[in-house]
Amino acid sequence: MSASAGRLVVISGSSGSGKSSIISRLKAHPRVRVSVSATTRPKREGEVDGVHYHFMDEATFRERNSRGDFVETNDVFGAGNLYGSLKADLDSALLRAGEVYIMEVDVVGAQSITAASYDGAHFFIMAPTRAVLEQRLRDRGTDSDEAIERRLATADKEENMARESGATLITNEDINEAVKTILVKLDLDPLPA
């Protein structure tokens, strides 16, 4: 990648790790832009197409996937809702000098991006301990005990996959410190006060 190109940063982590909160903070940096994923799930109240997600029906998603429009796709929770990252958005971002383009994907998505010959930094966000992760998931109040157990088992697998793929592991014990660590590793100035 040339010195004048943008930089790709992939951030993944298990549910409850705090990755979305970290990305939200990083988004405040003047050089950072966060990708907008495509999804087939229904739009929720307050969500805006093209801002929160690129919303599309399943037929459109599958047709675009067959054309090669996505750099990675996934049925994230096995619930039948498809998610994907548009290749054109990524390619466009990498042409913008000085821009840091953050993609929030799961570990499999990160591997797909690497397999598609995109070079970038991969950070995997982790809770400090399994007990903390479980408490964070329970505090959300959105999942059954069975769903929480599935998420915890998935978290263990994802962490192992991230380690094996060479991702930089970031322990999110304190969100401010986690954000600072990522900025330092990317050689970016601190967030504006």
Is 193 a domain residue? no
The token pair at 12 is 């993944």
Asked if the model's pLDDT at residue 1 lies above 50, the reply is no
Residue 191 inside a domain? The answer is no
Domain that holds residue 127: 7-185
In a domain, 190, yes or no: no
In a domain, 36, yes or no: yes
Q: In this predicted model, what pLDDT tens digit does every residue of 158-187 receive, in sequence order?
A: 999 999 999 999 999 999 999 999 999 999
Q: Which two tokens stand for residue 17?
A: 């790790």
Residue, of 81 and 76, whose pLDDT is higher: 81
CATH number of the structural domain spanning residue 68: 3.40.50.300
Q: pLDDT band at residue 74, thresholds of 50, 70 and 90? A: confident
Q: Is residue 58 part of a domain?
A: yes
Give a yes or no: residue 192 inside a domain.
no
Structural domains counted in the chain: 1
H or E element in which residue 105 lies: none
Q: What is the pLDDT of residues 85-116, one digit of tens each?
A: 999 999 999 999 999 999 999 898 999 999 99
Confidence check: pLDDT of 2 > 50: no
Query: Looking at the domain assignment, is residue 1 inside a domain?
Result: no
Kindly state whether residue 2 falls inside one of the protein's structural domains: no
pLDDT digits (tens, 9 = 90+) for 112-143: 999 999 999 999 999 999 999 999 989 988 88
Per-position b or e across 11-48, b if 16+ CB within 10 A of its CB: bbbbbbbbbeebbebbeebeebbbbbbbbbbeeeeeee
